[in-house]
Structure 1
Amino acid sequence: MKISQLAIHRLNNINWFVNLGVATTLPGVIQAQSLSLFIKGLNSDEWESATLEAGYEITGYLAKKHTNKYQYWNSLVKEAKKVVENDIIPKIIFPESEKGSMTENLKWDLVNYLLEDAYSSLLHEPFAFEGLINVYEAGHMPCGWSGTWPAGKLVIY
């Protein structure tokens, strides 16, 4: 098991945050209507819980159904964190006023995307973190969840 170079390449080709706050054409999402609501959502316990739950679904499934492959998880986490910290994040320009919150949320999403991608052949679609990457590719940022996970809708800015 290893982190996919294709997935890393995909992340390196994103034009980060070019449509923050701009009306979206992405289907099935709700758009935060202001910068303050974006920041509130980004820092909310509900959003943290939703992304944690998405991660737990992956690890729980792998631990039960693919025990042998799951034992590589921790080494893949280290590899994914290294890639995100050293290869992806330094290339991104964040809005200065919100850099801290955005950076931490983005790191979490990217590490989990790389892990989800590494195990994708063993998992069932839809892939939660790949869905978040689609939002980033559209120039927006995920910042919340409306409803109870997994039912509901993604909130973006």
Structure 2
Amino acid sequence: MDEAFATELDAIPWLSNIGQPVTAVMPWPVIPVTSWGEAFACFDDDWEALKGAARDRLTTFMRDRRNRGIRDFDWNEMVRAIKARVLTRLDETVWRPFGERHGLTPVFADLVASDVRLAALEYETRRIAGRPEFFRLLLQVYRAGHFPCGWCAGTWPDGTLVIY
């Protein structure tokens, strides 16, 4: 895993501005929500489908490169490195304790970890022309101390991101 990106992840003020006004520039228009109840009400099938489609674009991109004989890096090794360098520690010291303090299920930490893992994989493909990008942009929400929780008013990339 790229050490500069890992250091950047370490410096994120994870979830520190939950419920606060959005002051950072976001990659899409945003609608803020004001409670965990609202946040998880927005976490619907459409949001899951959007994130699933973004994940599928990334995996298809990497699979197609591998099928053409281009081996930029070992996908599985990259996931192991990301988990070892940042995910396990952030999960144990930030995301799970945060979830427990706020009465959230363990799935909450899994959602954040998945977004970060996929953002890191997108980062690793940053020098490859035509690579998809969604989770690196979504990471800007976390950098601003918020939680991305939904999408409304249009089909991605048009529409509005819902954040808490």
TM-score class, shorter-chain normalisation, is: 0.7 to 0.9
| 1:99 to partner: Cα distance | 4.8
Report sequence identity in percent: 29
Unaligned 5+ segments in structure 1 are none
Structure holding more helix per residue:
1
**1:18-72 Cα distance to aligned partner (Å, 9 max, x none):** 1101111244212124321102234x22222211111111222233346423662
Counterpart residue number, 1:108 = 114
Say whether the 8 Å CA contact 1:54–1:128 is kept in structure 2. yes
Is 1:40 matched up with 2:41? yes
Select 1:139's aligned residue among 142, 145, 150: 145
* RMSD (Å) for aligned C-alpha atoms: 2.3
1:84/1:110 contact within 8 Å kept: no
How many residues get paired?
154
The 2-side partners of 1:45 and 1:123 are apart by: 31
5+ residue gaps, structure 2: none
Structure 1 position 127 matched with structure 2 position 137: no
From 67, 75, 78, the equivalent of 2:77 is: 75
Q: Does 1:6 align with 2:7?
A: no
In the superposition, the TM-score normalised over structure 2's length comes to 0.80
User: Residue 93 of structure 2 aligns with which residue?
Assistant: 91
* Alignment partners' CA distance in 2, 1:11 and 1:21: 21
Q: Is 1:32–1:155's contact at 8 Å kept on the other side of the alignment? A: yes
Aligned equivalents of 2:140, 2:8: Cα separation in 1: 10
Deviation per residue, 1:80-117 (Å, 9 max, x gap): 23334423222314142125232011010011011111
* TM-score under structure 1 length normalisation: 0.84
Whether the aligned pair in 2 keeps the contact of 1:17 and 1:141 (CA below 8 Å) is yes
Distance 1:15 1:136 in 2: 8
Q: Paired residue for 1:18? A: 16
